[in-house]
Amino acid sequence: MALLQIAEPGQSAAPHQHRLAAGIDLGTTNSLVATVRSGLAETLPDEQGRHILPSVVRYCATGVEVGEAARRAAAADPLNTVSSAKRLIGRGTADLKSLGRELPYEFVMIDSAVPRIRTIAGDVTPVEVSAEILRVLAQRAQETLGGELSGVVITVPAYFDDAQRQATRDAARLAGLHVFRLLNEPTAAAVAYGLDHAADGVHAIYDLGGGTFDISVLRLHKGVFEVMATGGDSALGGDDFDAAVAGWLLAEADLGSDADRGTLRHVLDQARAAKERLAQQETVGLEIDRRDAGLWRGTLTRKQLADLVDPLIRKTINTCRRVLRDAGVTIDEIEDIVMVGGSTRALRVREKVSEFFGQAPLVDIDPDRVVAIGAAIQADVLAGNNPDDEMLLLDVNPLSLGIETMGGLTERILPRNTALPAARAQEFTTFKDGQTAMSIHVVQGERELVADCRSLARFTLRDIPPMVAGAARIRVTFSVDADGLLRVEASELGSGVLARVEVKPSYGLTDGEITGMLKASIERAREDIDARRLVEEQVEAQRVIEALSAALACDADELLSAQERAVIDQALQALIATVDASQNAAEVETAVKRLESECEFYVERRMNSGIRKAMAGQRVDEITPRDDGQEAG
């Protein structure tokens, strides 16, 4: 998502009481929870001292198992053991086919928008599965800290769309947690390394986990992190390293790929263990129980492992190259490379990343924990525990928000890239005499014409007291909170009548669509300006036509001779004809000017007559036009 994240002073709560907060890295393979204690951010272990909680949930007849126990049971009870729920969260049944990897459990294919997984304990959704994981982690934090959490920060991939973010938030709500905010994983990693306090510059976050690879390029500018580009492969990670090593093992141990499931699982486990140990040692011994064929013994060296995984690492480097190009930055502009994800512990990965970027990546913080640590730092700030550090990482709205004005033009109220939360107000007025209602059309986009923008909502402000056109003062306020929820409020200042609407502006927009909308606005800028001018002139002409017609109906008989009236009528008809026929702003403008000059004497007479009437003791409100209930706006 094209989000910036910024630092803004003065937002933290009073520091009198330490509020408990936690950061949660809700991963595809593994999840962690971290908190800041005595100024230090650290991940929290379970009673057995394990920090990592496998993101696996097993549904049994008697209850739910989460984590290591569930992971170990996966091979024996695949249908009731749900792993990788993150791949499904916020996705529709229609997305299932394109998920890249086979998921071993059974889906309930009823015509529901959300995929449901059939288990012994009933059908479950990915949101419910994620909630189980969050519940265990929050519980762990509460036990360690000895109290209720006031809120959590949960990390999500930078590319997560609104539905995926919303679903993650739903999972937290199901788990009974208050979400301070969702934070992009690469931003969390950058925060863990304190890069938000560094000088302005560009940073790359290389995240190679169990099943996914993500590369993000962030630019820090005046304390603001902007996601310049992201890329990756949702089906490339440590699991593929395991598969590569397992393939080699099967061949070495003379086991065909027709080996039974149990043996395959055993070989995969051995492969994974060997791969992980090679981060510490040069060689590992391997033993494969081949059942009837007996025990096989062998060794795997770092060099051999490198040969097996190099093609996979090369794929990630190619993606890095592409994402740098998308971001429009060169390798020399990258200040730091932050390593995230268990697979970046593999020495070969570090070597290749160093080679490509021409500098050693940051590896001091455990790559498994770095995201959770950044989230914990953020959660601590949002809980208001850090009076010295009033920094708040915030998003910006990726596309301008505004309303439709007369003639189908957009009036931008909150321009794109405004840091959130934000509120802006603008005043509008009625277009017609006696107008008592105004319909407000909320739009999103960079284009001048409403037709080229995205429609978000419509609502109507009613019961405006009848006034002459232009006299009503209608204030429209846009406010977007830190979660990106937009509230639009319209009120007539004299009477206080009010109407409002809430919308989720980014709902359903993919990164690509946002980029597309921005690109179109740049490419079409010239064309748009011309179109806008034409519409503006048409609106102005319409206003003049309306006003003149109303005036003529009111006092033409009294103030104009038949001949004068004929001249004005002719000029009026000429303008109406021009407005209907012309697509040229200058032509319309000229026609308006001509009519105005033809009418000058009439306007003058009206003013004089109005003054005379007022002087004669009439009350001004007696000449205020009646309510004719027309809508415009």
For residue 264, what is the enclosing H or E element?
helix 261-277
The C-alpha atoms of residue 430 and residue 625 are separated, in whole angstroms, by: 13
Nearest to 623 by CA among 612, 613, 615: 613
**Which amino acid does the sequence have at 144?**
T
Q: Which two tokens stand for residue 615?
A: 């002087």
How many amino acids of this chain bind ligand ADP (CB under 6 A)?
Answer: 21
* 335-343, 446-454, 539-547, 563-571 -> range binding ligand ADP (CB under 6 A): 335-343
| Residue 30 lies near ligand ADP (rule: CB under 6 A) | yes
When CB distances are held under 5 to 8 angstroms depending on the partner's kind, the choice from Mg ion, ligand ADP, none that residue 279 binds is: ligand ADP
The C-alpha atoms of residue 359 and residue 363 are separated, in whole angstroms, by: 12
Beta sheet of 107-108, edge-to-edge order: 107-108, 116-119, 122-124
Which single residue is written with the structure tokens 């006092």?
555
The set of residues, in sequence order, having a beta carbon less than 8 Å from that of 486 and lying 6+ positions away, is 401, 442, 456, 478, 479, 480, 502, 503, 504, 505
CB of residue 276 vs ligand ADP: minimum separation in angstroms? Answer: 4
> Rule CB under 5 A: which of 324-353 touch Mg ion?
341
Determine which residue in the list 368, 511, 589, 598 makes contact with ligand ADP, applying CB under 6 A.
368
The C-alpha atoms of residue 42 and residue 379 are separated, in whole angstroms, by: 13
Determine which residue in the list 44, 346, 394, 413 makes contact with ligand ADP, applying CB under 6 A.
346
Assess whether 207 carries a catalytic annotation. yes
Assess whether 260 carries a catalytic annotation. no
| Residue 212 lies near ligand ADP (rule: CB under 6 A) | yes
Are 610 and 622 in contact, with CB atoms under 8 Å apart?
Answer: no
| Residue 51 lies near ligand ADP (rule: CB under 6 A) | no
Q: Which of 65, 170, 185, 380 is catalytic?
A: 185
CB of residue 364 vs Mg ion: minimum separation in angstroms? Answer: 18
For residue 469, what is the enclosing H or E element?
none
Are 217 and 229 in contact, with CB atoms under 8 Å apart?
Answer: yes
The H helix count followed by the E strand count for the chain is 13, 28
Question: Quick one: CA torsion of 173, 78, 250, 306, rounded to 10 degrees?
Answer: 0
* 26-34, 251-259, 508-516, 609-617 -> range binding Mg ion (CB under 5 A): 26-34
Q: Which two tokens stand for residue 474?
A: 């209608």
- Using the 8-state DSSP alphabet, how is residue 45 labeled? -
The C-alpha atoms of residue 123 and residue 59 are separated, in whole angstroms, by: 10
| Residue 505 lies near Mg ion (rule: CB under 5 A) | no
CB of residue 272 vs ligand ADP: minimum separation in angstroms? Answer: 5
Determine which residue in the list 1, 3, 27, 552 makes contact with Mg ion, applying CB under 5 A.
27
**Minimum CB distance to ligand ADP smaller for 191 or for 220:** 191
First to last CA, the chain: 33
The C-alpha atoms of residue 633 and residue 404 are separated, in whole angstroms, by: 7
Determine which residue in the list 276, 333, 513, 564 makes contact with ligand ADP, applying CB under 6 A.
276
| Residue 27 lies near ligand ADP (rule: CB under 6 A) | yes
CB of residue 43 vs ligand ADP: minimum separation in angstroms? Answer: 12
**Which amino acid does the sequence have at 9?**
P
CB of residue 209 vs Mg ion: minimum separation in angstroms? Answer: 4
* 123-131, 204-212, 426-434, 594-602 -> range binding Mg ion (CB under 5 A): 204-212
The C-alpha atoms of residue 237 and residue 296 are separated, in whole angstroms, by: 27
The C-alpha atoms of residue 64 and residue 228 are separated, in whole angstroms, by: 41
**Minimum CB distance to ligand ADP smaller for 207 or for 446:** 207
The C-alpha atoms of residue 533 and residue 64 are separated, in whole angstroms, by: 64
When CB distances are held under 5 to 8 angstroms depending on the partner's kind, the choice from Mg ion, ligand ADP, none that residue 368 binds is: ligand ADP
**Minimum CB distance to ligand ADP smaller for 342 or for 633:** 342
* 158-166, 272-280, 309-317, 561-569 -> range binding ligand ADP (CB under 6 A): 272-280
> Rule CB under 6 A: which of 556-585 touch ligand ADP?
none
* 465: number of Cβ within 10 Å: 14
| Residue 210 lies near ligand ADP (rule: CB under 6 A) | yes
- Using the 8-state DSSP alphabet, how is residue 259 labeled? -
**Minimum CB distance to ligand ADP smaller for 30 or for 316:** 30
Determine which residue in the list 259, 279, 317, 518 makes contact with ligand ADP, applying CB under 6 A.
279
Q: Which of 46, 132, 170, 207 is catalytic?
A: 207
* 26-34, 246-254, 458-466, 560-568 -> range binding ligand ADP (CB under 6 A): 26-34
* 283-291, 340-348, 350-358, 466-474 -> range binding ligand ADP (CB under 6 A): 340-348
* 28-36, 62-70, 135-143, 523-531 -> range binding ligand ADP (CB under 6 A): 28-36
| Residue 434 lies near ligand ADP (rule: CB under 6 A) | no
The C-alpha atoms of residue 537 and residue 544 are separated, in whole angstroms, by: 10
* 153-161, 176-184, 234-242, 539-547 -> range binding ligand ADP (CB under 6 A): 234-242
When CB distances are held under 5 to 8 angstroms depending on the partner's kind, the choice from ligand ADP, Mg ion, none that residue 272 binds is: ligand ADP
Orientation angle between helical segments 238-252 and 302-327, nearest 10 degrees? 150
CA distances to 196, 222, 549, 587, 605 from 600, rounded to whole Å, are 63, 55, 15, 20, 9
Nearest to 12 by CA among 388, 277, 329, 358: 388
Name the residue with the smallest CB distance to ligand ADP.
238
**Minimum CB distance to ligand ADP smaller for 18 or for 302:** 302
Q: Where are the beta strands (DSSP E) in 290-432?
A: 295-301, 334-340, 401-405, 409-414, 422-428
CB of residue 367 vs ligand ADP: minimum separation in angstroms? Answer: 7
Determine which residue in the list 209, 231, 384, 505 makes contact with ligand ADP, applying CB under 6 A.
209
**CA-angle at 216, arms to 163 and 506, nearest 5°:** 25
When CB distances are held under 5 to 8 angstroms depending on the partner's kind, the choice from ligand ADP, Mg ion, none that residue 23 binds is: none
User: Site mask, Mg ion, residues 155-194, x = CB under 5 A?
Assistant: ----------------------------------------
Q: Which of 65, 86, 336, 536 is catalytic?
A: 86
Determine which residue in the list 90, 186, 209, 231 makes contact with Mg ion, applying CB under 5 A.
209
Assess whether 564 carries a catalytic annotation. no
Beta sheet of 81-83, edge-to-edge order: 64-66, 56-59, 81-83
Assess whether 25 carries a catalytic annotation. yes
- Strand pairing class (437-444; 422-428): unpaired
Determine which residue in the list 28, 155, 168, 410 makes contact with ligand ADP, applying CB under 6 A.
28
When CB distances are held under 5 to 8 angstroms depending on the partner's kind, the choice from Mg ion, ligand ADP, none that residue 210 binds is: ligand ADP
Strand partners, 203: 218, 336
Binding stretches for ligand ADP (CB under 6 A): 27-30, 209-212, 237-239, 272, 275-276, 279, 341-343, 345-346, 368
**Which residues are designated catalytic?**
25, 86, 185, 207
Interacting residue ranges for Mg ion, rule: CB under 5 A: 27, 209, 341
